[in-house]
Amino acid sequence: MIFLSGIHGAGKSYLCNDLNKYNISTYSASHLIAEYKKETYTPNKLTNDIDGNQYALIKAINSLNDVNQYVLDGHLCLLNGETKISRINSDVIIQLNPQMILNKVSDPSEIFKRLKQRDNKKYNINFLESFQNEEIQYARELSEILKIKLLTIDDDFKIDEIVKIIRRV
């Protein structure tokens, strides 16, 4: 499994749609959690039960019958119920055992536009920059802990190159 990280609005879902065109399987962590917990998926970006959701994700991943390589679209940091940046427990990522982390980044002003258009939410651009920087830093730390490759990709990264990298893993 390749873990595709990035904050809300960074372009992970868009990238996953492109990867599907190349017959690369992708899963959304949010959707897997909602399915496993039999809850309705909502676009609310605040998460009160971060740890509980992540352990539900592990169980959902373990129940997948997909033995092929896949990309998991998820987060390393989330916003808790108080709108504070909260890191996912590293034990969860260790249990997921990714072979690589792809960290999707984008210009904070572009993320602002996407979130406003998609969710009708306005975030402070400086907050989005801090949120993204925390995601990047944690991705670095986890890649060192897990001794796996980390690749940070921005909006200019070519899909063909990403596909080649994924297929080599």
Look at strands 25-28 and 70-73 and give their pairing: parallel
CB environment 82-110: b (16+ within 10 A), e (fewer): eeebbbbeeebbeebebebbbbbbbebee
Per residue in 48-93, pLDDT (tens digit) is: 667 778 888 888 888 876 556 799 999 999 988 788 999 999 999 9
pTM, two decimal places: 0.89
Taking the C-alpha atoms of residue 80 and residue 87, their distance in angstroms, rounded to an integer, is 9
Q: Which residue has the tokens 């372009």?
A: 11
3 state SS of 77: strand
> What is the domain class of 2-168 according to CATH?
alpha beta
Per residue in 126-162, pLDDT (tens digit) is: 999 999 999 999 999 999 999 999 999 999 999 999 9
3 state SS of 52: helix
Question: CB–CB of 47/56 below 8 Å?
Answer: no
Q: Give me the residue spans of the domains in the chain.
A: 2-168
Taking the C-alpha atoms of residue 20 and residue 69, their distance in angstroms, rounded to an integer, is 12
**Closest of 73, 61, 3 to residue 36, by C-alpha:** 61
